[in-house]
Structure 1
Amino acid sequence: MRRLIEKGLMFGNLVEVSSPALVERYNRALKHLTGRTTALADFHVDISGYSPEIGDELGDDLYLNPNGCNRQFILLTTAQKSAPLLHAKFSTSRGILRQFIAANEPQLFALTARDAVAGELQNTVYELSNPARLFDIRRITIEADTIGGHVADAAKLAKLIERFRAEPDGWRDDVLVAEMLVLAQKTGDVTRVPVSLPAMGFEQPNFWTAHFGGIYIFRGVEHPAAITVAPPSALGPLPIAQVMGLTQRNHIADWLERNRLVESIVEARGVNTAALLRQKMDFILVDAAESLGLDLGQATRADLRGIARRLGSALPDEFRGLADLLRWVEAGGDWPRISSEHPAYFYTLRARSGPDRDLVNMLLSELSPLDIRQLFICHKEKFYADYARWSDVKRGYVADFLEREYKIDKAGARAALFGPEPAMDEAPRPAPRPAVPPQGLVDIVGPWGAVQRKGGRG
């Protein structure tokens, strides 16, 4: 992993904590939440305040996330909102923290100037003894305060001020006035600078969890389902209408289409389809070369074409399917009918725009794991696990590619691959599925819908 760290592809954008004052604040918060402290004089933290250095020191990567649910957090600065979330157990956790920080940024900026803010992503489930318990997680609530209790004290002071103003003889109540003065010394003038961090709630109908090998839960769609990495039979009964394993490709493809969650990269707007297909084909060749022990050379596109020629009839089916599609895009060849049974099928899809876009792209990255760029962007936990098993040559190629082609313009790369970011206030449910036109009016081509080619596509 050292190569990824050096290139900023792992533990990137973490916030450095090196001043004695911030380290002391962090230790107070850590003691408050966990009963433990760190002896480190400097370290880095993610959006939740988790530090990989402290995790290594304590021998516990979940020291802020006991049992993998109800993640606790420590905020030292609002700059943490742009940091990643490490060791994520739920796909929604980082987005919730980002929204919380963004919604309360002025208050958090003022509060973190004097103390650390600590809190928790609370749900009603405190242990996950079996997969069915995951379905009890429906709403996440955030409550936070400084370690010194400034928010609670400010709320108490505001009530005392209201009482002072309402009572005719309030100014004569020495106990009331004294209590107000003591609180005001801690909170400041709350009449001019209110201090408030109201509890925020977030609905969680659709999410991925790392628990039980990895499960995708979709409840906020027209046809609810759970998709599991482990065989469904190994998880026991689940309280949802449809349960599918990742190997059930036909069922997953049909379900994605019925819920209108995906679109073909050929039909998607704003996509350089030919360039995208060529890059996916390169990734597949790199994997094939590694599997067969072939020399990757410098892994240039010319080197990869040479590997393709050497493989000949042994080229992977994924490569052949995408090559047929590229031929149609560039040269107007026959339209390739790539069914959901074909190994290349999920490489030809991306998520439709909407609130579940990132979650669906995460699922697609598991169904098309040789596309290492999409895997890195959409599912870093799986990417790092796969990276650890690759040969050093493939690791070098992948790290160099991501540094060269992705890191320099992350936002641009994401927009080019997946379209514009979904708005935070988009409706949680996708639009109803439109009726399929009568057969004969258009040529229905499987789950991609109607394709009418006039003079080819580019």
Structure 2
Amino acid sequence: MERLIESALIYGSMVQIDQPHLVERYNQALNAFGLASTKRNAFSVDAMGFSPEIAQDLKNDQYLDPLGINRRFIIVSPDQADMPVVNISFSSTPDLMRAFYVENSEAIRNLTLKDVVYGEIEDASYRVDHLDDVLSIKRVKFKLHTHNGLMEKSKRLTGLIETFEANGDAWQDDELLGEIVDLARACGDIRFNQIAPQHTQFDARSFWTMHFNGIYVFHDDDDKVMVICDPKQLQANEARRPQDRFIAMTDHEAVLDYLVETGRVEPLNLEWFGKSGIMDIRFGIFCRMQMSLQNAKLDPSVITDVEVDNWVHKNLSRLKRSKSFRQLQELHRSVLNGNQPDTESFDAEMRLMSVRANPDHEDWLLVNRFLTEFVPYDFLTRFIVNKQAFYRDYETFSDTHREYAVRLITAVYFPDKQELWSALFEEWRLSDA
């Protein structure tokens, strides 16, 4: 973990909270959640107010997500809007938080000038005991509070102004006018400065959740739900929820058919596979990891491309027994020759390792995350779109593999994140051909 922190592969982009009044406001929110105040004078927070330093002090990484549902948040600065969200239980949480910031940017900016905004993303469930608790989530509401009541006062002021404007004799009501003046002193002129967030409800459609050993929930146009999960979860829940559809994560044929039939993945796109660099990335990672497994003294981060080629030639017979290698070799040959590969020779698992999400489908971000589940050796792509899987895998790596992963990610991804993101997931669309 220390290597990840030092290399900014975790907790890398955060807002520094080091002004006394902001620390005080953060403590006010902590206390409202029943948590102890921090004695720190400075700490960092993500978009939802999670702080690794505070988590360390509380000895609780889930202090803002105690039950893994209805995620809590603390906003002390509008700068948090540009930060990532870490330690998620649902893949939809960062998108919901981002949407909340976008839709209420003016109100958040005005509120955080004088107060702290805190609360939770509330849905239909209070805890997760059964799959029903997850599948019932279709819409969420941001339940908001402010310590000094600034937001609540602005709502009260809005109501009083509406009463004043609707009642022609209201100007004679000294009590009403007095309360309006008092509230205006605290809130300012709310006719021109938005204080209370207006957009607090958002749809929560397709998502991944860590619950039940990690499941993917896809909502389709026919209002039916597809749950892709491990076989044990399928057996436990399929009979209980006949209204929904289930596929075992290990049933690669059914998984692929579903993604293709619903238009969530592109057909095999050789232009993308060749020009994006994904083929070279995967081939390099796969071979270097195999080389270091064969010889523990090898450091994969310093193995050159020439050494990789020499090793492949010497070990070709053994490598051809690997599905992953055969797939990469076939795709590489097809890209070089400009020919469509014989996908009939690919089983469903291999095809899932060869495609990407349809960039025009609304679930494309989640689908790209999902597809990395079938390419376990590609830690770079998993880091970019499926960090929970990357961190889980990282714990199983040897020290040399950890160092290799950190060096490759910082060298390939960090120099221009947007450029690599576009190359891997957005450019070279089939529709542009």
| Unaligned stretches of 5+ residues in structure 1 | 423-447, 449-457
Partner of 1:255: 258
Deviations 1:124-171 (A, max 9, x none): 110111123211111111232432221221121122233334445534
Contact 1:221/1:259 (<8 A) preserved: no
Instruction: Quote the offset at 1:266 in angstroms.
Output: 2.7
Moved more, 279-288 or 93-102: 279-288
Partner of 1:341: 347
> Which of 281, 291, 303 is residue 307 of structure 2 equivalent to?
303
Structure 2 CA distance, aligned partners of 1:259 and 1:338?
21
Contact 1:339/1:345 (<8 A) preserved: no
Aligned CA RMSD, in angstroms, stands at: 2.5
Partner of 2:316: 312
Q: Kindly, what percent of the aligned residue pairs are identical?
A: 29
Find out whether 1:359 has 2:366 as its counterpart.
yes
Task: Tell me the amino acid that sits aligned with residue 309 of structure 1.
Answer: H
In structure 2, relative to structure 1, the CA distance for the partners of 1:192 and 1:259 (3 Å cut) is closer
Structure 1 CA distance, aligned partners of 2:5 and 2:168?
65
Structure 2 CA distance, aligned partners of 1:334 and 1:261?
21
Structure 2 CA distance, aligned partners of 1:117 and 1:190?
18
Instruction: Quote the offset at 1:234 in angstroms.
Output: 5.7
Deviations 1:365-391 (A, max 9, x none): 011111111111111011011011111
Instruction: Quote the offset at 1:104 in angstroms.
Output: 1.2
Instruction: Quote the offset at 1:268 in angstroms.
Output: 5.6
In structure 2, relative to structure 1, the CA distance for the partners of 1:330 and 1:168 (3 Å cut) is closer
Structure 2 CA distance, aligned partners of 1:59 and 1:339?
51
Find out whether 1:414 has 2:421 as its counterpart.
yes
Instruction: Quote the offset at 1:318 in angstroms.
Output: 0.5
Instruction: Quote the offset at 1:10 in angstroms.
Output: 1.2
Deviations 1:224-268 (A, max 9, x none): 421114633464335354322221111111111111111245346
Contact 1:13/1:83 (<8 A) preserved: yes
Find out whether 1:114 has 2:114 as its counterpart.
yes
Partner of 1:228: 229
Partner of 1:382: 389
Partner of 2:277: 275
In structure 2, relative to structure 1, the CA distance for the partners of 1:129 and 1:158 (3 Å cut) is same
Deviations 1:78-111 (A, max 9, x none): 2212211111111111011111101111221111
Aligned positions of 1:13-52 closer than 5 A: 13-52=13-52
Aligned partner of residue 344 in structure 1, secondary structure: helix
Structure 2 CA distance, aligned partners of 1:122 and 1:19?
30
Instruction: Quote the offset at 1:338 in angstroms.
Output: 5.3
Contact 2:108/2:195 (<8 A) preserved: no
Instruction: Quote the offset at 1:64 in angstroms.
Output: 1.3
Partner of 1:186: 186
Partner of 2:286: 284
Instruction: Quote the offset at 1:173 in angstroms.
Output: 2.9
Aligned partner of residue 345 in structure 1, secondary structure: helix
In structure 2, relative to structure 1, the CA distance for the partners of 1:334 and 1:381 (3 Å cut) is closer
Partner of 1:88: 88
Partner of 1:350: 356
Instruction: Quote the offset at 1:333 in angstroms.
Output: 6.7
Partner of 1:155: 155
Aligned partner of residue 231 in structure 1, secondary structure: helix
Partner of 2:375: 368
Contact 1:328/1:334 (<8 A) preserved: yes
Aligned partner of residue 356 in structure 2, secondary structure: strand
Aligned partner of residue 413 in structure 2, secondary structure: helix
Deviations 1:338-360 (A, max 9, x none): 55536533221100012101100
> Which of 409, 415, 421 is residue 402 of structure 1 equivalent to?
409
- Alignment size in residue pairs: 423
Task: Tell me the amino acid that sits aligned with residue 320 of structure 1.
Answer: R
Aligned partner of residue 348 in structure 1, secondary structure: coil
In structure 2, relative to structure 1, the CA distance for the partners of 1:183 and 1:299 (3 Å cut) is same
Structure 2 CA distance, aligned partners of 1:360 and 1:113?
39
Structure 2 CA distance, aligned partners of 1:173 and 1:342?
75
Task: Tell me the amino acid that sits aligned with residue 336 of structure 1.
Answer: D
Contact 1:274/1:326 (<8 A) preserved: no
Structure 1 CA distance, aligned partners of 2:244 and 2:169?
64
Partner of 1:175: 175
TM-score, length basis structure 1: 0.85
Contact 1:321/1:338 (<8 A) preserved: no
Partner of 2:101: 101
Instruction: Quote the offset at 1:279 in angstroms.
Output: 1.7
Structure 2 CA distance, aligned partners of 1:163 and 1:275?
63
Partner of 1:137: 137
In structure 2, relative to structure 1, the CA distance for the partners of 1:313 and 1:356 (3 Å cut) is same
Q: Quick check: which one's helix share is greater?
A: 2
TM-score, length basis structure 2: 0.90
> Which of 319, 322, 327 is residue 321 of structure 1 equivalent to?
327
Deviations 1:26-71 (A, max 9, x none): 1111212334322222111111101111112112212112211111
Contact 1:215/1:227 (<8 A) preserved: yes
Task: Tell me the amino acid that sits aligned with residue 383 of structure 2.
Answer: F
Contact 1:244/1:252 (<8 A) preserved: yes
Instruction: Quote the offset at 1:189 in angstroms.
Output: 2.2
Contact 1:77/1:112 (<8 A) preserved: yes
In structure 2, relative to structure 1, the CA distance for the partners of 1:274 and 1:55 (3 Å cut) is closer
Structure 1 CA distance, aligned partners of 2:135 and 2:346?
29
